[in-house]
Structure formats: structure tokens, C-alpha cells
Chain A
Amino acid sequence: DAKTTQPTSMDCAEGRAANLPCNHSTISGNEYVYWYRQIHSQGPQYIIHGLKNNETNEMASLIITEDRKSSTLILPHATLRDTAVYYCIVRFPSNDYKLSFGAGTTVTVRA
């Protein structure tokens, strides 16, 4: 069962930052927040994960609120190739082997 809530869809202008919100109000202290994306007809692509601290890698930044009840994925300079479904998932890896995907957010980057 998905433990997250994400907007169904959002648009973003090419070259601008895309901020994708995710609510996970029932997250427990040991659960990580993972972000994946899926471009049409491809397998899900891992983006980033975090536990308590904000994280940044070459693809994106993950901002987790202090109470850990929500997070935001930031794509700093969206391109047309970032058009995809983005999934926010919470999971305690020591207890739960599977990833539970919800409906995700369909992000459309427009030129």
C-alpha cells in the first residue's frame, strides 16, 4: 500500500526548476524516502533517496521537512527529457523488501 500522496500531474517550463511535492505524514523514523521516475515504456529510473537530511546528486535535490512528513524533489533545470511519471516511495529497507508504487506525478516539461 502506497504511503505517499502526490499531485496527479504538473507542468514545467523547460529550463526552469521543477519542484515535485510528496506527503508522507505517517512515515516512521526508519523509513527512507525514495524517488524514481519512469519515462514512457521504460523501466523505472532511480533518482535519489534520503532519510533525514537533504540530499543532492547529479540528477536532483531532495528536501525533507524537519518533521519528515513531506518532501520535495527538485529538478534544477528541467529539460524535455525530464518528462516522465515521478514516484515518491517510503520504505524501511530492513523490513520491507518491495517498493510500493502509487500513481505518481505525471510531469510534462514544455518548451
Chain B
Amino acid sequence: NAGVTQTPKFQVLKTGQSMTLQCAQDMNHEYMSWYRQDPGMGLRLIHYSVGAGITDQGEVPNGYNVSRSTTEDFPLRLLSAAPSQTSVYFCASSPQPGGNQPQHFGDGTRLSIL
């Protein structure tokens, strides 16, 4: 019972490089989301998806792309990495979209942009 799996766990990039952070869940959850966590800022929503083929922007979407071709996977793409994107990224899922849905979190990807 893996839950939400994020890969890689750590990554160092150079400014301008592109990268995809992977997120997969095996719970058949409809709702998936990406957050970034920065010191003193809590968790800020980047993008979310209410089902396969449907995505929407969160609070801080600039510089990131997402797609949802399957229920299980929700990759986050950095098109041209910038030092401001140095952060810890968390993927989360819940059975349904909605404000009453507890989120299941992955263990995070720690990303450094030099």
C-alpha cells in the first residue's frame, strides 16, 4: 500500500534547466495537487486536478506546468528553473475534490536551483 509516491526525493538543478517532478498514487483518488513549502510561508498550492484531463491553477502557478493523463499520475514540470523555485514540493491526493476531503501527502521532493 504505497499511497502517494514522489520521485526524486532530492534534486539539484542549474538555472534554466527543465525538470519533471513525478507523483503517483495507487488509491484511485480523483483529486491531486501540488504544493510548495518554503520557510515561514506554509504550504502554497501550485496546481491541482479534479480528475483525469482536468487541471487548474492554484495560488502560485507561474513557472510550472501540469497535466493529468491518467488517474494515477500528476507530474509537475519546471520549464526553466529559477533560484526562486528552490523549495520542497509536496504532492497530495484525496478521494474526491472538495473542502471536506483530507489530503494524503507524499514525502516530498527537495529541489535546489543553483
Asked whether A and B interact, the reply is no
Enumerate chain A interface residues (CB-CB to B < 8 A): none
